[in-house]
Amino acid sequence: MTFWQVYGYIIAEFLFEYFVYAALFLHKLGRRKYFYFRAVPAVVALFALGLPVALFYKAFGATLWGRILVYSILFALFTLLAWICFDESYLTVLFCCSMAYAAQNLAYKIYLIIWTAGEQLRLYDNWGNKFDLYYRLIYYSVFAVCAVVFWFVFIRRITAKLENRKLNYRMLVITVLVLGITVLLCSVEDLYFAELSVWRENRFDEYVYFVLRETGNAFSVVCCIIVLLLASKSIIENALLQELEYLKYTVRQGERQYQMSKDSIELINIKCHDIKYKLDALTAQGGMTPEAVKELRDSIAIYDSKTETGNQLLNILITEKSLYCEQNGINLSCMIDGVKLDFMETGDLYCLFGNLIDNALEAVKEIEEKERRVINLMVKSKDNLLLVQEENYYNGTREFEDGLPLTTKKDKNSHGFGMRSLRMIVKKYGGELAAYVSDDIFHLNIIFSR
């Protein structure tokens, strides 16, 4: 092969394929300032640096160490240039580039399985002078199909959680190690099976060579799939651990908030009683008219009200939320048998009903019609079941994922933990949670078996 054939068919083609997969893995990472002014020169530099690499490949590509060194250099160059463009740690960029390499190698090996089988069946013997054209059409068709399939099966799941920016670096080391071994074996296969080929590469007279070649291809496919699955599993587990830590933190905050709310409500009630006695004294002395006294009594009545649910924590919480609702023109209707909730820990109970009511408040605050600014909350028991029901109106639309409504805020990663926290608490006590919408009303049902 001439120098330009080596560059065009091997180096540039590899870089193009790698670039496509890397773009799919990297696109959600934070970008450095003047990203496009960095990215465009980086791409140009990458393909320009491929020229001396192609020269090295032409001189030493027929040796095992030479071939491994070529692809190692290209991988290192790509990772470095990607890190220059993305505002992430080098290990995060290395992880994404490693996954892109695994995906590119997986697509190539799938193509080789298909192509080698076709050579064995002599499907390409009549292509004549259109052989190169048909070869490229098959090659890039397989590449395009693999890119789409990998996106939906692997890449989307991995990149969806990458924004958490926390990686299991032990898993990263294992992944890169497995990938390195795979690349080494692939280089050995490509080099020595090329020598066993007749007429064209990957065409064999001996059937045993065909079987060995396909076995090696299949082994590489399995290794790359394992790497991608390990990465996906690691990323998802880290995301779940983060959610668990967030839930624990929320529960701890709930316990502290409950104590603060309890003290505040008790202080308000004491002050309200004091004010009532002073009003009575002023009235007796003729210092205020009956109308003025009535107006003042009505004003402080809400602050002196107590919600009785049978559960002290819920009494405090509902009273606190009722004050907010009164100030914002929201009707909070509660029918709660709080005694039945004594099986729950204080922090969990506060977190559960606090999040439940806060989510409802956030929805009804956006409604202008007074008659629709309503929240209904009910807790009742029947036989061995305890049912928690919450209903509220809402504006706009609600999208669901995995049975839970998605947050309506723009920053999807910093919000949306409330509903997941609810479900985790419910699961902790062996319950089930279901949410749905009907006629512009959001319904949330929780069932505990007691």
Q: Check whether 1 has a pLDDT greater than 90.
A: no
Confidence of residue 352 (pLDDT cuts 50, 70, 90): confident
Report d(CA 347, CA 406) in Å as an integer. 24
DSSP 265-290: HHHHHHHHHHHHHHHHHHHHTT-S-H
Q: pLDDT tens-digit profile of 287-314? A: 666 666 666 665 555 554 556 788 888 8
Q: pLDDT tens-digit profile of 204-255? A: 988 999 999 999 899 889 888 888 887 777 777 776 676 666 666 566 655 6
Confidence of residue 264 (pLDDT cuts 50, 70, 90): low
Q: Check whether 391 has a pLDDT greater than 80.
A: yes
Work out whether the CA dihedral 4, 9, 14, 19 comes out positive or negative.
positive
Output the average pLDDT for the chain: 82
Write down the pLDDT at residue 415. 41
Closest CA to 235 of 162, 152, 153, 156: 162
Q: Check whether 267 has a pLDDT greater than 60.
A: no
Q: What's the token pair of residue 294? A: 């009535």
In this prediction, residues 395-412 reach a mean pLDDT of 73
In this prediction, residues 29-51 reach a mean pLDDT of 92
Q: What's the token pair of residue 40? A: 């465009």
Confidence of residue 67 (pLDDT cuts 50, 70, 90): confident
- pLDDT more than 90, % of the chain: 30
Query: Could you tell me the CA-to-CA distances from 91 to 78, 105, 408 in Å, in that order?
Result: 14, 21, 32
Q: Which residues pair with 433 in a beta bridge?
A: 446
Q: Which helix (H) or strand (E) holds 331?
A: strand 331-336
Write down the pLDDT at residue 287. 60
Report d(CA 96, CA 79) in Å as an integer. 9
Q: pLDDT tens-digit profile of 337-348? A: 888 888 988 878
Higher pLDDT: 272 or 365? It is 365
Helices and strands of the chain, counted as H and E runs = 13, 7
SS3 353: helix
In this prediction, residues 120-134 reach a mean pLDDT of 90
Report d(CA 10, CA 4) in Å as an integer. 10
φ and ψ at residue 413, rounded to 5 degrees: -85, -25
Confidence of residue 94 (pLDDT cuts 50, 70, 90): confident
Residue partners of 206: CB distance under 8 A and separation at least 6 = 196
Sequence letter at residue 329 = G
- Alpha-carbon torsion angle 137, 143, 149, 153, nearest 10: 170
Q: Check whether 318 has a pLDDT greater than 80.
A: yes
Write down the pLDDT at residue 417. 61
Q: Which helix (H) or strand (E) holds 132?
A: helix 131-150
Report d(CA 360, CA 86) in Å as an integer. 39
Higher pLDDT: 162 or 295? It is 162
Q: Check whether 138 has a pLDDT greater than 50.
A: yes
Report d(CA 389, CA 256) in Å as an integer. 26
Query: Could you tell me the CA-to-CA distances from 189 to 203, 216, 275, 319, 411 in Å, in that order?
Result: 14, 7, 90, 73, 47
Helices (H), 86-168: 90-120, 131-150, 156-162
- Angle, helices 64-85 vs 169-196, to 10°: value is 140
3-state secondary structure 305-316: CCCCCCCHHHHH
Contact 221, 104 (CB under 8 A): no
Query: Could you tell me the CA-to-CA distances from 179 to 212, 227, 422, 427 in Å, in that order?
Result: 21, 7, 40, 38
Report d(CA 417, CA 359) in Å as an integer. 11
SS3 93: helix
Write down the pLDDT at residue 413. 46
Q: Check whether 129 has a pLDDT greater than 70.
A: yes
Q: Which residues pair with 400 in a beta bridge?
A: 405
Q: Check whether 327 has a pLDDT greater than 90.
A: no
Confidence of residue 270 (pLDDT cuts 50, 70, 90): low
Higher pLDDT: 80 or 270? It is 80
In this prediction, residues 99-124 reach a mean pLDDT of 92
Write down the pLDDT at residue 396. 82
Write down the pLDDT at residue 268. 61
Say which range, 10-19, 180-189, 215-224, has the weakest mean pLDDT: 180-189
Higher pLDDT: 17 or 5? It is 17
Phi-psi bin for 165: left (phi > 0), alpha (psi -120 to 50), beta?
left
Degrees, nearest 5: CA angle 53-59-65: 80
Report d(CA 45, CA 56) in Å as an integer. 17
- DSSP-derived secondary structure letter, 4: H
φ and ψ at residue 42, rounded to 5 degrees: -65, -45
Report d(CA 19, CA 52) in Å as an integer. 19
Write down the pLDDT at residue 183. 76
Write down the pLDDT at residue 265. 60
Q: pLDDT tens-digit profile of 413-422? A: 444 566 777 8
Cβ density class 309-330: b for 16+ within 10 Å, e for less: bebebbbbbbbbbbbebeeeeb
Q: Which of 60-69, 163-172, 228-237 is predicted most confidently?
A: 60-69
Q: What's the token pair of residue 177? A: 């190690």
Q: Check whether 412 has a pLDDT greater than 50.
A: no
Confidence of residue 281 (pLDDT cuts 50, 70, 90): low
Q: What's the token pair of residue 160? A: 């969806």
Beta-carbon-side half-sphere exposure of residue 272 (alpha carbons within 13 Å): 17
